[in-house]
Amino acid sequence: MLADRQVSFLRMAGAHVMAEDSAKDATSPPTAGHQAGLGFSHRQILVTMSGLVIAMLLAMLDNMIVAPALPTIVGELGGLNHLAWVSTGYVLASTVATPIWGKLGDLYGRRITFVAAVALFLLGSVLCGMSQDMAQLIGFRALQGLGAGGLMVGVLSIVGEMIPPRDRSKYQGVIMAAMPVAMIGGPLIGGFITDNLTWRWAFYVNLPLGAITLILCWITLAKLPKGAGRAVIDWWGTALLTVWITALVLITSWGGTQYDWTSPQILGLAALAVAGFVAFVIVQRRAAEPIMPLRVFKSRNFSLAGAVGFISGFAMFGAIGFLPQFQQFVQGSSATNSGLLLMPMMIASMIVSLAGGALIGRTGHYKSLPIVGTVLVTAGLALFATMDLDTTTTMTTLYMVVLGAGMGALMQTSTLIAQNSLDLRDMGAGTGVSTFLRNMGSSLGVSLLGAVYTSQLADSLAGAGPAAQSVAASAASMTPQALRALPEAAQHLFQQAVTDGITTLFTWGAAVTAVGIVVALFIRQVPLRGAATSAASPDAEPVAADR
């Protein structure tokens, strides 16, 4: 009864604000805010975004909460070789689902598809918390990822539909600043849960925040178009997309570890990935409503922004996910403290994201941000690659500030550039493609760099001679607590192996993002569409200008 009254109160409050602002819009002279997108005023945008920001926090909190708990999860459920798949399964499913959710939003309306994505995400969270072994956890993380794929693309598509690009940077800056807040709060909450409760609550904690998100979004998104309600879904494209992406991720996960690169399994997966990709492109060219419209790639800036997103996702998220391994095993931090140690990176990211959004909103200039961002990310990853057993937390804090500043410069800019190159009819699908490319980079980064880490760790222990045999045998179920119970010599061997794996991982990450610097140099400064342009022709000149 109380919940019903709260929902009714929120609905009436939202309706009152919408009605009040509509009355003001009818008597006030037109401004940039009133002309924007679907006619939302500044106040209406803020009301609508309240639910979107919480949804963004929900999506970002999950991965960050789980990261500090991974050493404990692996120790309890076993399977170091499957460590990367706890994240890879989630990111892979999210990657596959992202363009699908984006297209469904174009066809059926963003409100219903967005709420459905939140509900699926919460179901996956409950099942993850109930997992009894690593196979179940990976499978339910994949289910959770299917819902998560609709969260970020839903937020960005809704903002893209409501607000023209010139005004959008201010609002996206706030949304992107919420991501570092989640990244700061996530490790703290995850570390506290791991140290004081049980790792299962790292998933259950999503439920109260998710319930608030469902209520707020259902109320505040009521003004969005509902969609035609009837459409031909590109099932063949969806199936083929799943096939070639899964094959590609399996290659990067298994190649050189479980199977030789020239083994029949890896070569067969490579053939499947190539054949699936070719078939996918053919289907997308012929489909009436392609899940990934290839016409969006005709825009040079869209393609370059997507490439930057892919590269940054590969290096940043692929490498950062394993940083708690070094902090807990080598530096001796608790799960809670390893979350605290990430704060400098997230604060730097938040400050730069807000400053970048304000700069773009005031000047319309964005070309320098992807260049500066890729340079800083490359420098940060290169600094992490110099760590050794004696590296202090003060030094890693400085490295994190450099990396965080680069992340803040890249997060919203690549999406803004991509959306500025889209026709309004492709806003959802195009945003889905842009998010897909970043998630694809993250998925391959987590799997490939995770394989590099575990392989290097195993090689380091094997190279240490007979003294490391007992440590190598227990490496798959090693936890920070178990490590501290070993003799000092055995601790040193394992810590050196972890350090070797981490530094190798960051070296590869820095090399990849160095390529991103070159890609960013070719992005053109195309004028951002303002309110007047959007009202008259949402997609004309800028889209053609960057061909």
Going from N- to C-terminal start, the domains of the chain cover: 37-234+288-528, 235-287
Q: Is the dihedral of CA 156, 104, 291, 270 positive or negative?
A: positive
Q: What angle do CA 466, 468, 473 make, to 5 degrees?
A: 110
Q: Is the pLDDT of residue 379 over 90?
A: yes
Report which listed range, 79-88, 90-99, 156-165, 489-498, is most confident.
489-498
Please report which confidence band the pLDDT of residue 230 belongs to, taking 50, 70 and 90 as the band edges: low
Amino acid 474: pLDDT: 63
**Overall average pLDDT of the 82-87 stretch:** 69
Average pLDDT over residues 381-396: 89
- Among the ranges given (9-23, 115-129, 484-498), the one the predictor scored with the smallest mean pLDDT: 9-23
* pLDDT recorded at residue 181: 67
Sign of torsion, CA 36 40 43 49? negative
Least Cα distance to 308 among 527, 505, 515 occurs for 515
Question: How large is the angle between the packed helices 393-420 and 300-320, nearest 10 degrees?
Answer: 160
E strands in 482-523: none
Q: In this structure, what are the phi and psi dihedrals at residue 68, rounded to the nearest 5 degrees? A: -65, -20
Give pLDDT, residue 167.
Answer: 66
Say if residue 305's pLDDT is above 90: no
At residue 234, the 3 state secondary structure works out as coil
Residue 215 has pLDDT above 60, yes or no: yes
Lowest mean pLDDT among 110-124, 186-200, 270-284: 186-200
Q: Which two tokens stand for residue 501?
A: 């794996």
Beta bridge partners of 259: 255
Grouping H, G, I as helix, E, B as strand and the rest as coil, residue 515 is helix
Average pLDDT in the chain: 75
Contact between 445 and 485 (Cβ < 8 Å): no
Query: What pLDDT does 386 receive?
Result: 92
378 versus 333: the higher-pLDDT residue is 378
Does residue 274 surpass a pLDDT of 90? yes
Element (H, E) at 514: helix 488-521
pTM: 0.67
Question: How many other β-carbons are positioned within 10 Å of the β-carbon of residue 133?
Answer: 12
Environment class of 228 (CB within 10 Å of its CB; exposed 0-12, middle 13-18, buried 19+): exposed
Position 442 scores a pLDDT of 76
Token output for 40: 């939302």
The answer, yes or no, to whether residue 327 has pLDDT greater than 90, is: no
At the topology level of CATH, where does 37-234+288-528 sit? Growth Hormone; Chain: A; (1.20.1250)
pLDDT of res. 14: 43
- Does 348 have pLDDT greater than 50? yes
User: Can you give the pLDDT at residue 282?
Assistant: 93
Residue % of the chain over a pLDDT of 70:
72
pLDDT at 183 over 80: no
pLDDT at 15 exceeding the cut of 70: no
Q: Which of 444, 308, 304 is nearest to 374 (CA)?
A: 308
- How many other C-beta atoms can be found within 10 angstroms of the C-beta atom of residue 82? 20
Which is nearest to 45 in space by CA: 58, 34, 59, 29?
Answer: 34
256 burial class (0-12, 13-18, 19+ CB within 10 angstroms)? middle
Backbone dihedral angles phi then psi of residue 130, each to the nearest 5 degrees: -95, 0
Tell me the CA end-to-end span of the chain in Å, nearest whole number: 57
Q: Does residue 206 or residue 64 have the better pLDDT?
A: 206
Kindly report the backbone phi and psi dihedral angles of residue 255, in degrees, each rounded to the nearest multiple of 5, phi listed first.
-60, 125
Q: Which tops the pLDDT comparison, 14 or 127?
A: 127
Axis-axis angle for helices 235-254, 427-463 (nearest 10)? 20
For 41-61, b/e burial (b = at least 16 CB within 10 A) is bbebbebbbbbbbbbbbbbbb
